[in-house]
Amino acid sequence: MQEEWAERHRPKSLSEIVGNEPAVQSIGRWAESWRKGVPRAKALVLKGEPGTGKTSAALALAQDMNWDYIEMNASDHRNAASIRKVAGAGSMAQTFAPTGEFLSSFEGKRKLVILDEADNLFGREDYGGAKEIVETIKNSAQPIILIVNDYSELTRKAPAIRNLCERVVFRRLDKRSVVRVLKTIVEKEKVKVPTQVLERVAENAGGDMRAAVNDLQMLVEGRSSLVSEDSDAMGKRNQDRQLDESLRAMYAAKSLREARDATLGVDMTPDELEKWIEESIPQELRHSEDMALAFDALSKSDIFLDRTKQLQHYGLWAYAKEMMTGGVVLARTHDLRSNAYEYKYPSHFIVMSRAKGPRASRESISRKLASYMHTSRRCIASSSLPYLSNIAGNDEEFLIWLVRDLGLDEGDVAFLLEVDPDSREVTRVMSQAEAADVSRGGAEPRIARSRKSKRKLADF
């Protein structure tokens, strides 16, 4: 099997990282701080969407600093025991070269611990992982890098990460940067590819470098040259598009068809588009009567969207789009605002994002309980969860049993107790559950109830 180009041409040094210059500089400064000893921020969180160069930057840093590294990714079971064994031990111990030579960290020889996809900690296979990551950072004598796509998910499970780590944000790459890298790759691979094809690949990837390299390799596979028409065989990736022009064209439309067609190129579902239009109505329409009619049309669109979800009949999306575009625009009886506004990110998404932590915990517990109690998640969330939370808050032994039996994580326990995931109560419960797990050898997750506590989940 041919080696993937994304791995073969991975940058060997931070100086080879294309784009995200501020992020690369921050990583370099953090690494240099280790030359003076153990810095205040022992860990670095690299946050950003896939394909923006986070993992490449971490590996390139190890090469630049002449550090060995230990890497754990989503394919590993990152429970408390494995993290303590691999990352924890590696962060505390001195470094040994591959030849067995002892390298003292006091002489500048260090070992970089890389936890890739650190936000993906779910289920019993990652039991206690979030808590152990925090403990590893606190006790570390070696540099640690956490790589995440969803920073809020990581901090939901381990809020202490915010204070323990320095955060570096990676942005999506612009088209020119991606094309520049692709040109370098085809030169090294000795393949002739027209610039037009490279530009099409870069545009199609939407700022995801790994996706662009993989697409290019797919097109070139088994060939020594390409022509411009070869890019037509490439599927269209989902990517963010500029909404400003589409929305402005929609509001300036004179007919329903013009308004509808103005948003045809926007790569998002009608549900998402509706929120952008809802946020933009007060910006574009000057008179209260126009706003009232526009929101009335939007409410009719919302009815069709709800029916689409209930009936799973996506043909109704067409009616929803007619109302949210043409219906909103034709409600205008006065002139548009003279000034051009930059459309705001929908407040709906901001509110939902803030509620993501509690909502995720509620869904997590409901999912784990539903299969055990042979009922639906909705039923658990609406009727059973409040009682379960009350019982767990008054019966710690029962809560420990829940953790052991269902594989609840720190976020789940914190939700039931209505406390912070890093609180003493959560730490105590998780430690006792883990101790019970170890004493049982981890063979059978369900533990016996003591005589003192008669309540069981089956009774609940």
Structural tokens at position 197: 């094809």
Stretch 441-448: mean pLDDT, rounded?
42
Task: Please list the residues that pair with 165 across neighbouring strands.
Answer: 43
Give the whole-angstrom CA distance, residue 392 versus residue 246: 51
Q: State which of 52-61, 106-115, 238-247, 339-348 shows the largest mean pLDDT.
A: 52-61
User: Does residue 120 sit in the same domain as residue 247?
Assistant: no
- Whether 452 is covered by a domain: the verdict is no
Single out the residue in 233, 251, 281 at which a domain terminates. 233
The answer to whether the beta carbons of residues 166 and 30 sit under 8 Å apart is: yes
Query: Does residue 27 surpass a pLDDT of 60?
Result: yes
Q: Which of 153-157, 227-231, 301-305 has the highest mean pLDDT?
A: 301-305
Burial class (CB in 10 A: 0-12, 13-18, 19+), 203: middle
Range of the domain at 287: 243-346
For the cut 50, the answer to whether the pLDDT of residue 102 exceeds it is no
Q: Are residues 403 and 327 in the same domain?
A: no
Angle at which helix 410-417 crosses helix 129-139, to 10 degrees, equals 110
Cβ(296)–Cβ(331) below 8 Å? yes
24 and 108 both lie in a single domain: yes
Residue 114 in contact with residue 68, Cβ under 8 Å? no
How many CA atoms within 13 Å lie on the side-chain side of 151?
15
- Are 189 and 226 in a shared domain? yes
Contact predicate 395/455, CB 8 Å = yes
* 451 inside domain: no
**Does 432 have pLDDT greater than 60?**
yes
> How far apart (Å, rounded) are the C-alpha atoms in residues 11 and 4?
14
Q: Both 138 and 251 in a single domain?
A: no
The pLDDT assigned to 454 comes to: 46
Select from 302, 296, 267 the least CA-distant residue to 281. 296
With cut-offs at 50, 70 and 90, classify the pLDDT of residue 325. very high
| 261 and 312 assigned to the same domain | yes
Residues 313 and 391 in one domain: no
Assess whether 151 and 56 both reside in one domain. yes
The rounded percent of the chain whose pLDDT value lies above 70 is 76
Q: How many CB atoms lie within 10 A of CB 125?
A: 13
Is a pLDDT exceeding 70 seen at residue 451?
A: no
SS (H, E, C) 54-114: HHHHHHHHHHHHCCEEEEECCCCCCCHHHHHHHHHHHHHCCEECCCCCEECHHHCCCEEEE
In a domain, 456, yes or no: no
My answer on whether 331 and 247 are in the same domain is: yes
365 falls within a domain: yes
Tell me, yes or no, whether 460 lies in a domain: no
In a domain, 281, yes or no: yes
Say whether pLDDT at 290 is over 80. Answer: yes
Domain boundary at 147, 170, 193, which?
170
Task: Count structural domains, the chain.
Answer: 4
Let me know if residue 58 belongs to a domain.
Answer: yes
Supply the pLDDT for residue 148. Answer: 87
d(CA 121, CA 124): 9
Q: Are residues 165 and 184 in the same domain?
A: no
For residue 375, how many C-alpha atoms fall within 13 Å in the half-sphere facing its CB? Answer: 14
pLDDT of residue 81: 60
| pTM of the shown model | 0.52
In whole angstroms, give the CA distance from residue 51 to residue 351.
27
Question: Do both 125 and 192 map to the same domain?
Answer: no
Residue 459 in domain = no
Using H for helix, E for strand and C for coil, what is the string for the chain? CCCCHHHHCCCCCHHHCCCCHHHHHHHHHHHHHHHHCCCCCCEEEEEECCCCCHHHHHHHHHHHHCCEEEEECCCCCCCHHHHHHHHHHHHHCCEECCCCCEECHHHCCCEEEEECCCCCCCCHHHCCHHHHHHHHHHHCCCCEEEEECCHHHHHHHCCCHHHHEEEEEECCCCHHHHHHHHHHHHHHHCCECCHHHHHHHHHHHCCCHHHHHHHHHHHHCCCCECCHHHHHHCCCCCCCCCHHHHHHHHHCCCCHHHHHHHCCCCCCCHHHHHHHHHHHHHHHCCCHHHHHHHHHHHHHHHHHHHHHHHHCCHHHHHHHHHHHHHHHHHCCCCCCCCCCCCCCCCHHHHHHHHCHHHHHHHHHHHHHHHHHHCCCHHHHHHHHHHHHHHHHHHCHHHHHHHHHHHCCCHHHHHHHHCCCCCCHHHHHHHHHHHHHHHHCCCCCCCCCCCCCCCCCCCCC
Averaged pLDDT for residues 296-315 = 87
Q: Are 11 and 55 contained in the same domain?
A: yes
**What is the tens place of the pLDDT at every residue in 339-360?**
556 677 777 766 665 555 677 7
- Domain CATH for 180: 1.10.8.60
Q: Provide the pLDDT confidence category of residue 111 given band limits of 50, 70 and 90.
A: confident
